[in-house]
Amino acid sequence: MLTLVQYRSGVCNTANCRRKRECTKRHKKHSTTSCKSAPIPQAQLPTPVKVRPASTVAQEQDEKSETYTSLAPDERGQTMALLFFLQTLAVSTVAAQGRFVDLTHALDTNTVYWPGSPSFKFNILSRQQQDSFWYESNNFSTAEHGGTHIDSPSHFSKNQWRLHEIPLNNLIGPGVVIDISARAEKDPDTQVEIADLFQWEEKHGKIPEGAIVLMNSGWDKYWPNKTAVFGSSTPNNSSTFHFPGFSPRTARWIIANRKYINAIGVDTPSIDFGQSRDFQTHVTVFGANIVGLENVANLSRVPVTGATVFAIPVKIRDGSGGPLRIFAMINDVNRAGINHPEILCMMVTFISILLI
């Protein structure tokens, strides 16, 4: 059994003190035995302590002058500042982690595919109790271009990245949401124009490096109603489609002025609008190895700025595209306009040290 006895600041006069430096800080006086057991790191205890065997308790009680419980005022101030720093750091870390919004439609047999592609198939191989455990296993098959998916640049541009070649760095970036939902409600053939990007930049500054620029036309509300998603009563005939996309003019402006972005994405089946015949938006952005994201969901739940978007596809070798898990991490601190919470944390801590 051990007993804790506390000391306040003083000088260690023990000749054979093995940890002189710590003792000098912590002990008024002590024996060689206590010196060997000291110091107990201050970080482990609220006040400096020394551990002693129970057999020495009686002797300790006789040495009343050696036993104290409180810190000197300067030590108390430093301890409070340290605790406040740790608390602020913990709070800012939690805030910086943010919250997540899933931007992915689940793959199932209702998933909408571009005409000509086979539909999603899902077959149960096993779903039963074995001797000592439960076991499930399935087969699935899917075309590349259906549901929430990615277009590799190679889809419309020879010698550009195929799916497994797209660097991870190009699949993650600050979200830039261009909201044209009010316009799309009245006109399914509307497109993201250069003026929409200018409007966004007027309010939020220049589109950031590595951005993932996403069109929110409100189209995900139609999912998975095939005729509504394609805006056509004949969803097997692509010439009859009516849904929004990025205009080729906007794509050319991006390549000329904001080529550093990582991706453009839409909540409709194609980054070119439904009435496109030559898919010039695909051709233009893929020529610069900017990737495309299609049938993205839940964009009305993502702020127009202040989110980080992760667009992570299945890694299919030589794929021209494939199923995508895309989500946004919304930083609530960023939403308040504070882009560097760690700096805020340090400032608050510094002020607290001055005040204590």
Residue 37, C-beta contacts closer than 8 angstroms, at least 6 positions apart: 50, 51, 52
Q: Which of 27, 30, 145, 258 binds Zn ion (CB under 5 A)?
A: 145
Q: Which of 22, 66, 151, 196 binds Zn ion (CB under 5 A)?
A: 151
Q: Which two tokens stand for residue 331?
A: 């930083």
Applying the rule CB under 5 A, the residues between 22 and 41 that interact with Zn ion are none
The HSE-up count of residue 131 (CA atoms within 13 Å, CB side) is: 0
Nearest-approach distance from CB 237 to Zn ion, in angstroms: 18
Quick one: 151 or 179, whose CB is closer to Zn ion? 151
Nearest-approach distance from CB 100 to Zn ion, in angstroms: 24
Do the bridges between strand 149-151 and strand 172-179 make them parallel or antiparallel, or are there none, so unpaired? unpaired
Q: Which stretch binds Zn ion (CB under 5 A): 187-195, 235-243, 266-274, 343-351?
A: 266-274
Q: Which two tokens stand for residue 114?
A: 């571009």
Quick one: 296 or 345, whose CB is closer to Zn ion? 296
Nearest-approach distance from CB 351 to Zn ion, in angstroms: 52
3-state SS record for 1-52: CEEEEECCCCCCCCCCCCCHHHHHHHCCCCCHHHHHHCCCCHHHCCCCEEEE
Q: Please tell me the count of residues contacting Zn ion according to CB under 5 A.
A: 5
Quick one: 30 or 282, whose CB is closer to Zn ion? 282
Nearest-approach distance from CB 282 to Zn ion, in angstroms: 6
In the chain, DSSP assigns E strands to 2-6, 49-53, 99-102, 121-129, 134-141, 149-151, 172-179, 191-192, 212-216, 245-246, 263-266, 291-294, 307-313, 321-330
Q: Does 267 bind Zn ion (CB under 5 A)?
A: no
Nearest-approach distance from CB 259 to Zn ion, in angstroms: 19
Q: Which stretch binds Zn ion (CB under 5 A): 62-70, 240-248, 268-276, 305-313?
A: 268-276
Quick one: 274 or 306, whose CB is closer to Zn ion? 274
| Interhelix angle 194-204/248-257, nearest 10 degrees | 50
Applying the rule CB under 5 A, the residues between 291 and 330 that interact with Zn ion are 294, 321
Quick one: 148 or 232, whose CB is closer to Zn ion? 148
Nearest-approach distance from CB 279 to Zn ion, in angstroms: 8
User: Closest residue (Cβ) to Zn ion?
Assistant: 145
Quick one: 191 or 349, whose CB is closer to Zn ion? 191
**Terminal-residue alpha carbon distance, the chain:** 38
In degrees and rounded to multiples of 5, residue 322 shows phi and psi of 170, 170
User: Cα(196)–Cα(264) distance, rounded to whole angstroms?
Assistant: 14
Residues that bind Zn ion (CB under 5 A): 145, 151, 270, 294, 321
